[in-house]
Homo-oligomer: A and B are copies of this chain.
Amino acid sequence: MKILVTGASGFAGSHLIEALLAKGHSDVYGTAFGKPDFIASLLQEDHIINVNLTDKTAVRTVLENIKPDWIFHLASFAFVGESFQKGEELLINNLGLQFSILEGLREIVPQAKTLIIGSAEEYGLSEDGELPMSESHPFRPINPYSVSKLAQDMLAYAYAVSYKLNIIRVRPFNHIGERQSPEFAVSAFAKQIAMIEKGKQAELHVGDLSGIRDFTDVKDMVHAYILLMEKGNGGDVYNVGTGVGISMTEVLQKLVGMSKAVVKVVKDESRLRPLDIKEIVADNRKIRELGWNPTIPLEHTLQRVLEYWRNI
């Protein structure tokens, strides 16, 4: 059984590679864009493929060479914060790589089981009575990044129904862990605390903390991805999140409470977005029915993330 993970050098990708190897999968290939970093310690050199996934010909070659049975398609450009400024580039790149994978699937490996990664950000704003967010929550995306994830999701749907491809779609809610970019809030907090502890930074800068989010440990998240590949229904879509909302203020308090230093928190106007979503919490009944449960308490994850930034 051959497995291809796109975006393997990314945050979730690297944890997925670890989990697949730990489960005994030996023939695991990963695509990286630029330097592979962490996964170079996990995969043999000939199983790491440096490729720009927006390049259709290159993607064809990868699929022809590997002929994967499973494809975890994690690659995507992220960075919600910059999303209006670089919105168009983001959208075009995210759709470009999606077309490469879907066209490659259709032409070269139409039998491959494929997991396509969307985002809870596709749902966006909620009205009264719509929380927690089920898979049929209306789409009200509030920035180009969210629109790009929605368009990727819907394009995968279109290919799946039109060409009868074996595609499962997943909409992960926030997930956190070591190796996540400090463009994301929890990593940004932990990194700054580590810097303050080392005396390299005076204050902790934050954006809007009023939002409520649903945080899953990345290790639980990638187990959901593997479970979906094993047991998910082709053509279907699944939320993955704990189902428990927590305010960003509380997450910050927990992290600050773990700090060895006195941390002064300062609101930074430049970190504010035009609009923030008040609450994003998963209705996770569908993935729970397949047997998934979050296993790692938030405090353990936060402690690990803080340790990661202390040691970097």
- Enumerate chain A interface residues (CB-CB to B < 8 A): 84, 87-88, 91-92, 95-96, 99, 124-125, 136, 138-144, 146-147, 150-151, 154-155, 157-158, 161-163, 273-275
Contact = CB atoms under 8 A, between A and B. Distances in A.
Contact of A141 (B87, B136, B158): B158
Contacts of A138: 136
A237 to B, nearest CB: 11
B91 A163 contact: no
A197 to B, nearest CB: 36
Contacts of A99: 87-88, 91, 144
Contacts of A161: 125, 140, 142, 275
Given A92-B92, A162-B274, A147 B141 contact: no
Top 6 A-B pairs, shortest CB-CB distance: A162-B274, A151-B151, A162-B275, A88-B99, A147-B154, A147-B155
Given A88-B96, A125-B161, A161-B275, A144 B155 contact: yes
B139 A84 contact: no
Given A91-B151, A95-B95, A150-B150, A142 B158 contact: yes
A161 B138 CA distance: 15
Q: Number of copies of this chain in the oligomer?
A: 2
A65 B95 CA distance: 33
Given A96-B88, A99-B88, A138-B136, A158 B147 contact: yes
A272 to B, nearest CB: 12
22 contacts: A84-B162, A87-B99, A88-B96, A91-B95, A91-B99, A91-B151, A99-B144, A125-B161, A139-B139, A140-B157, A141-B158, A142-B158, A142-B162, A143-B162, A147-B155, A147-B158, A150-B150, A151-B154, A162-B273, A162-B274, A162-B275, A163-B274
